[in-house]
Structure 1
Amino acid sequence: MPTLVLWPARPLERVFKDSQPVRVGEPLRLSCVRNEYEGCMFGLRSDENVEGVRLEVSELRSASGAAIPSSRAKALFVNSIPLTRNTPLTPPEELERLAPCEVPDPLLDAEEVNLEAGVTQPCYYRVHVPPDAKPGEYRGFVRAVAADGSSAEMEVVVTVHPVTLPSRRSLYVTNWFSVENIAKACGAELWSEAFWKCFEEWIAMMSEYRQNVFWVPLDTVKVFKRGGSYDFDFSVFDRYVEILLKHGADLIEVTHVAGFTRWGGSEVRLRSFRVVQEDGSVAEEPGEAVLPHLLRALEAHLRGKGWLEKTVIHIADEPTEDGIEEWRRVSRFVREHAPSLRRIDAVETTGFGRDLEVWVPTLHHYDQWMEEYEEARREGAELWFYTCLNPVGRYPNRFLDYPLIKVRIFHWINYAYGLQGFLHWGFNWWWKDPFGEPNPDLPPGDTHISY
């Protein structure tokens, strides 16, 4: 019968497929406050090929008899992503591993896996401490059991401190997502009943992982032309937003009304719209014609629904110094037609004055131009920060080859500098295969955190 081995990692330590068993016999230790989710990787290995291995978790019990039920804990298998290149412009000492390598990241919903002899299966243990848990040390176990009856067990020790996190979230978090990729992943036609069911499952999952800001494509508003005027159908928009609010959205962000003709450029163009004509045909019409009517209708609709205070709208993504004047022109255009709708954008410069309510600079630009951004805050702006393919080097980011501390520290930065939100563009913008080689044009891990 094969010999299975379990061993714990330390918090913020990855377990790789070639990791060797260490600390065998030691418990997996976590330190938590009440109402906190906390997790840690662990390794599983066999000296022979073995099939049908599953993971089991026990309840956690303190010496006084207090218990954290097993339903609050999960043990998950972790898949690995192949990397053939590292994040550019990053010193080797800032990388956890040099390519080529495989990096553990996707948490699998597989009930069981087969183990290859001498190859480590990365795993992840997670616990949600109840808000009413008594402080103290709780003990339990994780067990691996194979179809042939072979097994291994590892003790889990969770220390609960006498502090309780509030359930109400105080930080805005948004990861932009592709509704088209959700539809493809579900094998459903966009906006069909099958899509809506799947979409709600995705939103529920995102909310469970503490996302509370969700973007809404402007194309969810259908545009009709009647004579010389426009009519708008908000039925898809409303169903979309109602799902977001059902799952705890604190803010909705309407997608961009314009875009730069090239990144870093000075020319901004209003987006166009597909408009249903009186004869039922569909024609592309310019934003200059549609947006004045759409923006007024959108603001009135949001006000009527009671959603106006929960909504922000994007102007044009990532304005730089060369494009700021054109960006401000478009922003004033939006303000003219929707004067009560707050504006938000990811920005690559300063100097937006009163033409932007929510400023979202990249982390390294906030670092470089902190005084200018803080002056904007003193004048009434709300400040967030964002990351994307930048920053690199010694800055934190969520790239697959960066140490986990560079992700964990994100929201400590929010706290330390009073930045009210975090934005990232890449929730599910997969390349060819979510589990395959990452997009070679972007740093690994930039495109998606869902699989």
Structure 2
Amino acid sequence: MKSKIFILLYLTGLIGFSQNQEEITDLGLNTKQEILTTEKYMELPNPVATNLQNWSSIKGIHIGWGTTDIRYKKEEPILHLETTKRLKAWKGERISAQIGISNADKNIEISVEVSDLKSGKNKISKEHFQTAFVRYVMTDELNKDGKGGCGYRKPTDFDSTLIADALDHHTKKIEIAKHSSRGIWLKLQIPQNTKTGNYKGFVTLKNKTKILKKLPFEVQVLQRTLPQPKDWKFHLDLWQNPYAVARYFGVTPWSEAHFEHLKREMKPYADAGGKSITASIMYEPWGGQTQDPFNSMVMWMKKLDGSWHFDFAVFDKWVEFMREMGITKQINCYSMVPWKLSFQYFNQTTNQLQVIKTQPGEPEYETMWTAMLTAFAKHLKTKGWFEKTYISMDERPKEVMQKVLKIIKNADPNFKISLAGDWHQELEPYLDDYCVPLSTKYEQKVLEKRQQQGKVTTYYTCCTEPYPNTFTFSKPAESEWLAWYAAKDNLDGYLRWALNSWTSEPLLDSRFRAWAAGDTYLIYPMGRSSVRFERMVEGIQFYEKVNILREEFHQKQNTEALKKIENVLQLFDENTLPQNPASEVTKKAREVINSL
């Protein structure tokens, strides 16, 4: 009976999470709220004082179209706004715009309404819009040398400010205090069957029931059509953390309630064309580096006779759920080489969870992992998932990887293997999915060979790069820049280690003890997107456009058009950032691609 109880604990993630009752952020700020923030919440107080002299040029309530390139400061007036917004888009494309509001009057309560967009007898229904208030979250800055955001950090050592990032579509009206500003984000999904034409409509802003402004909004829908996200070629790999969702909402891991929350939280990734499922096949593959460590989705048990037994029930639940969400290309399983080199299992003899400390090259390690991989391969083949599954590792030394590769191939020579880490010529032939840092450049002959072999070849950024990056304080256009760069270098896509490894209070404070703010997540609870994430998706869409146009122009032998594409892609050079801002580069590139 005891054995069954321990197995049950293992399968449910070892322990049910509960919400933090003290409501203190990771870095010690009291949220002044009783429960974790979900639908309605208050932002943290602004640590930056309002300079009233800056507001002397603004009278009353200033409203207009801004730009999605800027995170507008809460304490400063927005000086440059336009009366009309004009955008271009392909059919099937998702586009964004931002309205700015600066209030020099008394406190106001703002709500937003959008109209249908019309072009003659044709229209784009307002149901295809989503409006969201841009919410302020606490952020910090790069390391003092300006060379990145890695390393443990104390909040007292860094400037902390409120930054505009979370896109709150749940809140339908919001108070804007006197002498403060806020952005309103509009997202429009243009249906694939939309007729070509110039579509016009309005966005209406109200203070309670009083109309403050009607802003004209125009979209020129071009003749070309973008495929649905599930059909995008871009290989987007953002590591998911289901344990963070369980902790945040106070539900038992892998319960029905957990999966109900996961449906909402994983949808942004699916809608962005996410390709990879992140699965932890052993306990804490990355140690305790996140607020919510990854438990094992596989139960490891050493039986009375000393043999190994593995239960894949949780793994199956997670993979089946993610496949139902539309993420079907591959399953990345971490990690044979965890950071701590310790492996937790249930010992049937002692009726206890125990830990083995062993490493590649040791007999115990080889015996244990050979048993696991052999059982895993058999199970995956039964489920029909073997060809989609990758034994995955990240940032491991070459010598260690060589030992691990031998064990994997001895267990089943057809296992696929992925690595996110430094370039090693000796390892490349064995890696079906290779992802290197931005600073590493693949040789053209290697790229061509891997593409011919059908292998995945991508790159990643992490806390190392000061620019481009996806910190909460990074320039929004840097997130879009990432996919353009992949198009320039003919890479398959991009990896970022954290989709939703949330801090204790992600809606309020994006700072974390180990890295620059925002490094651990790109989306917010309750299915909220972010300025960073939306710009990343826009970049991915242009990657798809580039691929579609390249293929068409190659077939038509349109060398002039191909040259235009390649010339504009050469602008995406990380060595020119930030002197050559991502906002300027992406603007030029958009204009060229949308003109073809």
What is the TM-score normalised by the length of structure 1?
A: 0.87
For residue 255 of structure 1, what is the amino acid of its counterpart? Answer: Y
In the alignment, which of 431, 434, 440 is matched to residue 359 of structure 1? Answer: 434
SS in 2 for 1:120: strand
**Corresponding residue number in structure 1 for 2:395:** 318
Give 2:259's aligned residue. Answer: 196
Query: How does 1:251-270 map onto structure 2 within 5 Å?
Result: 251-260=330-339, 269=341
Following superposition of structure 1 onto structure 2, how do residues 218-257 of structure 1 map, counting pairs within 5 Å? Answer: 218=281, 219-226=296-303, 227-249=305-327, 250-257=329-336
The CA deviation at 1:24 is 5.0
The alpha carbon displacement at 1:128 in A equals 0.5
Choose the corresponding residue for 1:13, options 61, 70, 76: 70
2-structure distance, mates of 1:145, 1:310: 51
CA contact (8 A) 1:6 1:153 kept: no
Q: CA 1:165–1:260 in 2, change beyond 3 Å: closer, same or farther?
A: same
Q: Which runs of 5+ in 1 are unaligned?
A: 93-97, 262-268
Query: Aligned to 1:44, what secondary structure does the other structure show?
Result: strand
Code of the residue aligned with 2:167 in structure 1: it is L
1:104 paired with 2:177, answer no
Mapping for residues 139-150 of structure 1, pairs under 5 Å:
139-147=200-208, 149-150=210-211
Query: What do the CA deviations read for 1:197-231 (whole angstroms, capped 9, x no partner)?
Result: 21232222321233231201112122233323222
1:272 paired residue number: 343
Shift of 1:41: 1.8
Question: CA separation in 2, counterparts of 1:162 and 1:378?
Answer: 30
Contact between 1:87 and 1:401, CA under 8 Å: does it hold in 2? no
Does the Cα contact within 8 Å between 2:133 and 2:183 map onto a contact in 1? yes
Percent identity between matched residues is 21
The structural deviation recorded for 1:101 is 4.1
Q: Which moved more, 1:50-59 or 1:10-19?
A: 10-19
* Other-structure match for 2:232: 169
Equivalent residue, structure 1, for 2:410: 336
2:94 counterpart residue number: 37
Q: CA 1:344–1:15 in structure 2 vs 1: closer, same or farther (change >3 Å)?
A: same
**2:500 aligns to what?**
428
Residues 251-274 of structure 1: CA distance to partner in whole angstroms, max 9, x if unpaired?
A: 22111111356xxxxxxx4x4132
Residue 118 of structure 2 is aligned to residue 66 of structure 1: no
1:265 counterpart residue number: none
SS in 2 for 1:53: strand
SS at structure 1 position matched to 2:199 = strand
- 1:382 is aligned to 2:453: no
Find the residue that maps to 1:259 and give its secondary structure.
Answer: coil
**Deviation, structure 1 residue 356:** 1.9
CA distance in 1, matches of 2:224, 2:241: 38
Shift of 1:148: 5.1
* Contact 2:302-2:345 at 8 Å conserved across structures: no
Question: Is 2:267 the counterpart of 1:207?
Answer: no
Measure, in 1, the Cα distance between the counterparts of 2:310 and 2:139. Answer: 46
Q: How has the CA–CA distance of structure 1 residues 190 and 33 changed in structure 2, closer, same or farther, with 3 Å as cutoff? A: same
| Equivalent-residue separation in structure 2 for 1:370 and 1:22 (angstroms) | 47
Residue 14 (structure 1) shift? 3.3
Q: Please tell me whether the aligned partners of residues 254 and 313 of structure 1 are also in contact (alpha carbons under 8 angstroms).
A: yes
Alignment deviations for residues 158-191 of structure 1 (CA, whole Å, 9 cap, x no partner): 1111110111121111211322211112111222
- In the other structure, the counterpart of 1:266 is none
- Give yes or no for the alignment of 1:183 onto 2:262: no
Distance, in Å, in 2 between the alignment partners of 1:152 and 1:79 is: 21
Per the alignment, residue 135 of structure 1 pairs with 196
Q: Which residue of the partner structure matches residue 264 of structure 1?
A: none
Following superposition, the deviation at residue 16 of structure 1 comes to 2.8
Q: CA deviation at 1:122?
A: 1.5
1:249-296 deviation per Cα after TM superposition (whole angstroms, max 9, x unaligned): 1222111111356xxxxxxx4x41322516743333465443211111
Match of 1:80 among 136, 157, 160: 136
1:345 is aligned to 419
CA offsets 1:112-143 (integer angstroms, 9 cap, x no match) = 21110121111111100110111121111222
Equivalent pair of 1:57/1:74 in contact (CA under 8 Å) = no
**Contact 2:66–2:82 (Cα < 8 Å) also in 1:** no
User: SS of 2:498's equivalent?
Assistant: coil
C-alpha separation in 1, matches of 2:209 and 2:108 = 8
Distance change (3 Å), C-alpha of 1:18 and 1:137:
farther
Tell me if structure 1 keeps the 8 A contact 2:64–2:100.
Answer: yes
Counterpart of 2:175 in structure 1 is 114
In 2, Cα distance between equivalents of 1:339 and 1:23: 61
Structure 1 residues 378 and 243, CA gap change in structure 2 (3 angstroms)? closer
Rounded Cα–Cα distance in structure 1 between residues aligned with 2:461 and 2:163: 21
Q: Residue 254 of structure 1 aligns to which amino acid in structure 2?
A: C
TM superposition shift of 1:371: 5.7
Letter in 1 for 2:498: G
Change (3 A) 1:59 1:23: farther
Conserved? CA contact 2:136–2:163, under 8 Å? yes
Partners of 2:496 and 2:436 lie apart in 1 by 11
CA distance in 2, matches of 1:388, 1:91: 12
Partner letter of residue 364 of structure 1?
Answer: S
Closer, same or farther: CA 386–175 of 1 in aligned 2, 3 Å: same
Distance 1:402 1:235 in 2: 40
Partner of 1:50: 107
Residues 130 and 20 (structure 1 numbering): CA distance in 2 closer, same or farther, change over 3 Å?
same
Query: Quick check: 1:362–1:390 contact (8 Å CA) kept in 2?
Result: no
Higher strand share: 1
The Cα of 1:35 is off from its aligned counterpart by 0.6
1:299-327 CA-to-partner distances (Å, cap 9, x unmatched) read 11111111122221213x213xxx21122
Gap runs ≥5 in structure 2: 1-58, 149-157, 282-295, 358-364, 525-596
- What secondary structure, in the 3-state scheme, does the structure 1 residue paired with 2:210 have? coil
Instruction: Report deviation, 1:297.
Output: 1.3
Q: Distance in 1 between matches of 2:355 and 2:319?
A: 25
